[in-house]
Structure 1
């Protein structure tokens, strides 16, 4: 990359020649980003067994005392300046950049995760010093190897390290690679590498059948995507707005301090912080097994980072302050036959129970079983393997110990043909705010449901004529399912968790429509919400609190409104609200919309599913806070989002 210097001559003179007595207005010497970890950093040089080429080592040190390492030699600095076409900067300026690593400091620790870093082709090792120091300050052993003439070859580095005096610092089962390209082929060539990061590729195409190990791309929005489809494991493609190639290196960081024009609109110091945060989170997750929400969904802390592509869909993090647990509950109602398969003399249901947990530690719940995932994805057009949704990143700890007793309970009912998991993002969020949530799977009314004994129930109702009588039967049957769930939970080991005097219900689509007949049939349900569901059973009167929340049908808010809601509205004689969300579509209110956005599916929404999920969570939480907890919520009295209109 050829870069022209735009520095003023006075700045050049001051930085290139120095001053014996710096004035108050003198420009400070350029410096690297400070490590963010709590451990001192040491550095040393290792020569490779095979080629004799130098490798820079960075590691947690016993002490921060001692001389700091130079950023690079003057010869290396001159080569960088010449290669980038930078004139007017003396090599001594780059050579004099301050670092934070102590030369030959005694190391601290043993069997540490190892990250091998590769700069770009024919680029100096020094340009990844800030990243290396930051990782080392968090307890990672780092080796930075140059690429003078060829691909990023990790094998000689690993071979040399494991035969050297540094061998005790390396955990051979926790090795990762990160570099400015070539990461994929390096991983494919050496199975010892468990995870890899491509910093602003494009990466070379991967050999068939492709990698099944974790892979992260972090770079410019317009960087290439070669090799992406060949990756078969966990993967994320994150782009950073306003960056250029040098933004991800110390050359960009130092160059910006010198006044060089690289063309980035995001400051290099910010890009460096983002790079360090995401690379560190990636290795913490895949080499240390530590959950990293930063990798699961966009973060308000780093709004510049866009989740561009992913093969592993994710749920947004809950907004409450409590860890979330979840467990699967099997229920069997022997008092009635299955309404869709009358030859089965009982009705069996699966319920996902979400609740505040004592700890956030532990494996997360599986979103769907592989069989459920395959059934839901069949014919969807999504570019993922049939079991792809089984790997959905969730936020609830499986079978975690509950925290609290006597919690208000919310029953959630999903849309027709949709498994119960498709309301998980909402369920997790409610639980994070202190609710117990029973998410009901209505057997034979979804694409498929797995049971603990291994059998699988498909969508028996899907083969029937979907006339008015069908939809009425569906809504009334769900009302019966919900009452049975409430009876069962009240007499189960989960009874102490639930306050049976504070029960609410919400649902999406036919699940939302079923809320009205469920409330009419069961007085235990004190408040209800219909999320974008056309109703089929006419309401004859309800005095308990109720809210409609749906997508805007036309160009004008509330006009036209859902005619079935218009029909039912006068029959609601208690507290009531009707809100429309502009730019949303039917799927926007569920995890289906979230996955669609993550995979670039155009389902007609102009408001993102993530934004609609935020709105939905806000109003569902506020509604039940006010009507089950007695906590007034002003958001229910006036729209809090520009996309939301109150129709009544």
Structure 2
């Protein structure tokens, strides 16, 4: 059973500050003296005559300002320095002058909530007095903006923050069907709940700039004129913290694997993968080497196989996907493969799979081949008895299956296949949609790929029914949304395939 934790909001930087409330004469030149006697700004706290941060954030800007009054005749030279936990971290420039002056010091630090920030002052010449009031303070401010722009995808709606990590597998003893001399390698991205509050966000395509440019160009060419322009993907980040620590207080989590459409990159399922992870799933998106426009490994990029798409080639591609997914299941609890605590997070007895188009049929085939898969969801995948692997078509599946299809699709083979589905079956249709409306392309490309439904509604409907399906069949929670039409989602109709 998964222990549900309370909702955790995405953190917002909260500044902190203290202000000097009385004057403080200085003596003992040239030694440093600590400034004492502060009043806290609203919502802030002090400790041992220092400032406590309100946010644990890398890159926090700390500013100390000291207003002081000296002689009207003789110069004073005043220097301010900052300390964190009684360790000097920065010294400001010396200010020299008469009468009232201001000396300051600024430092950027990766602060923790337990830190204490203090300020000390040294002088030479005439002994000045530190002034009270708004000119003497310590304050923290938000980190300088180094955030990369986000890709145009909706933010996850779940209660948990998300981490993302690329995991690369090598299946020793298995030849790659596309290049038989090579051992099969598998590229995946894993999403999971994290404890991280701040950090670098994972990029949409690749952490390597040159690689993501190549991947974006290849991706656009795959979809011809309707594909997403490289500019909407290159340099853009997701809503997930890169390589973030796993959250371990939720118990073991169910796993959902994702398979993309034919000749489509795994990246175009990011929105639905992040959504599930934000609700307490470990989600693994599996690339298709030599089929996706470009598949990234640490030492190589694999591009689409250029051979003519014959039934035999298509079967080879689908069997490669099936075997990849089954090997991923083999290694789910192996910390040597799924490191950073991920292997210890998964419940390998609760694994489902979803996929778009050919990836949807892949999910069904994996279910037919492997009882470890407990349920499968097909986004607009074809139903056919010929021209591709047809093991599932001939033998049926025992696991729960959802077929979530575009508007108006028909299949002469569906009735025959439906009679071989022995588990619960959900047939639903999304009005106004086209084939790619179940992917990120609904937001990244033009409507020729997604249909007349708005991107926002496509994402909302897809997310709602996807969560309901996996929540019921992997988490065991009742879902009335699966019982029939809902007024909240009028675009979704049931049992349209016959």
Question: Is the shorter-chain TM-score for this pair beyond 0.5, marking a shared fold?
Answer: yes
2:153 to 300, 312, 315: 315
- 1:427 matched to 2:293? The reply is no
Alignment of 1:133-152 (within 5 A): none
Deviation readout 1:436-489 (Å, 9 max, x if unpaired) = 111101111100112112x111011xx233233333333232111110111122
Aligned counterparts, 1:155-174, within 5 A: none
> Residue 533 of structure 1 aligns with which residue?
381
Distance 1:166 1:445 in 2: 65
CA contact (8 A) 2:171 2:185 kept: yes
Which residue of structure 1 lines up, in the alignment, with residue 313 of structure 2? 470
Deviation sequence 1:90-109 (CA, Å, 0-9, x none): xxxxxxxxxxxxxxxxxxx8
What's 1:357 paired with?
194
Report 1:409-558 matches (<5 A). 409-453=255-299, 455-460=300-305, 463-493=306-336, 494=338, 495-535=343-383, 536=388, 537=390, 538-553=393-408
5+ unaligned residues in a row in structure 1: which ranges?
A: 1-36, 41-60, 65-108, 113-164, 173-282, 297-311, 554-559
Q: Secondary structure at the match of 1:445?
A: coil
Written as runs of structure 1 = structure 2, the 5 A alignment for 1:89-100 is: none
| Residues 179-226 of structure 1 deviation map (CA, whole Å, 9 limit, x = unaligned) | xxxxxxxxxxxxxxxxxxxxxxxxxxxxxxxxxxxxxxxxxxxxxxxx
The structure whose residues are more often helix, as a share, is: 1
Distance (whole Å) between structure 2 residues aligned to residue 447 and residue 440 of structure 1: 14
| Shift in alpha-carbon separation, 1:607–1:111, aligned structure 2, 3 A | farther
Whole-angstrom CA distance in 2 between matches of 1:529 and 1:523: 15
CA distance in 2, matches of 1:589, 1:483: 24
Q: Could you say what secondary structure the match of 1:377 adopts?
A: helix
CA distance in 1: counterparts of 2:267 and 2:329, whole angstroms: 19
Residues 457 and 166 from structure 1, CA distance in 2 versus in 1: closer, same or farther, beyond 3 angstroms? farther
Describe the superposition over 1:102-161 as per-residue Cα deviations: whole angstroms up to 9, x where unpaired.
Answer: xxxxxxx8489xxxxxxxxxxxxxxxxxxxxxxxxxxxxxxxxxxxxxxxxxxxxxxxxx
Residue 504 of structure 1 contacts residue 525 of structure 1 at CA under 8 Å; is this kept in 2? yes
Alpha-carbon spacing, 1:503–1:473, altered in 2? closer, same or farther (3 Å): same
How far, CA to CA, are the matches of 1:514 and 1:435 in structure 2?
20
Which SS does the other structure have where 1:563 is aligned? coil
**Cα deviations across residues 321-361 of structure 1 (Å, max 9, x unaligned)?**
001011001101122211122232x1111010111111232
Contact 1:517 1:539 in 2 (8 A): no
1:603-633 deviations in Å (ceiling 9; x for gaps): 3611012211111111111111101111011
Secondary structure of the residue aligned to 1:313 is coil
Instruction: Please show how residues 114-263 of structure 1 align to structure 2 within 5 Å.
Output: none
State how far apart, in whole Å, the 2-side matches of 1:358 and 1:414 are. 28
Q: Would the alpha carbon gap of residues 360 and 316 (structure 1) be closer, same or farther in structure 2, given more than 3 Å must change? A: farther
- Cα-Cα RMSD: 3.4
Corresponding residue SS for 1:491? coil
- Alpha-carbon deviations, 1:481-508, whole Å to 9, x = none? 1101111223234421111110101100
TM-superposition CA deviations, 1:274-308 (whole Å, max 9, x none): xxxxxxxxx968x44479xxxx7xxxxxxxxxxxx
Alignment correspondent of 1:402: 246
- Contact 1:378/1:386 (CA < 8 Å) preserved in 2? no
Rounded Cα–Cα distance in structure 2 between residues aligned with 1:605 and 1:583: 6
Gap regions ≥5 residues in structure 2: 1-13, 18-38, 43-61, 66-100, 109-140, 207-211
Secondary structure in structure 2 of the residue aligned to 1:614: helix
Aligned counterparts of 1:441 and 1:378: Cα–Cα separation in 2: 18
What whole-Å deviation, never above 9, does each CA across 1:520-575 have from its counterpart, x for those lacking one? 1111001111111113422422221111001112xxxxxx5333433321110111
Q: Does structure 1 residue 373 correspond to structure 2 residue 216?
A: yes
Q: Distance in 2 between matches of 1:347 and 1:571?
A: 32
- The Cα offsets for residues 12-67 of structure 1, whole Å up to 9 and x where unpaired, read as xxxxxxxxxxxxxxxxxxxxxxxxx9899xxxxxxxxxxxxxxxxxxxx9989xxx
Change (3 A) 1:582 1:284: farther
Distance 1:341 1:488, change over 3 A: same
| Distance 1:337-1:361 versus aligned 2 partners, 3 A rule | same
Change (3 A) 1:284 1:548: farther
* Deviation per residue, 1:357-394 (Å, 9 max, x gap): 11232111121132322321236447987475232230
Aligned equivalent of 1:570, options 391, 415, 419: 419
Q: Give distance in 1, aligned partners of 2:398 and 2:227.
A: 47
SS, match of residue 489 in structure 1? coil
Tell me: CA distance 1:576–1:604, structure 2 relative to 1, closer, same or farther (3 Å). Answer: closer
Aligned residues: 358
Conserved? CA contact 1:588–1:608, under 8 Å: no
Aligned partners of 1:604, 1:507: CA distance in 2, in Å? 16
Say whether 1:609 aligns with 2:452.
no
Distance 1:62 1:522, change over 3 A: closer
Question: Structure 1 pair 166/613, CA: closer, same or farther in 2 (3 Å)?
Answer: farther
CA contact (8 A) 2:442 2:458 kept: no
Structure 1's 411 and 604: CA in aligned 2 closer, same or farther, altered over 3 A? closer
Assess if the C-alpha contact under 8 Å between 1:534 and 1:564 holds in 2.
no
TM-score (normalizing by structure 1) = 0.50
Instruction: Select 1:632's aligned residue among 478, 485, 494.
Output: 478
Distance 2:379 2:41 in 1: 58
CA displacement, residues 416-444 of structure 1 (integer Å, 9 cap, x when unaligned): 11111111111111110000111101111
Relative to total residues, which structure has the larger strand share, 1 or 2? 2
Partners of 1:324 and 1:360 within 8 A in 2: no
Structure of greater relative contact order (alpha carbons < 8 Å, 6+ residues apart):
2
- Cα pair 1:374 1:387 within 8 Å, conserved: no
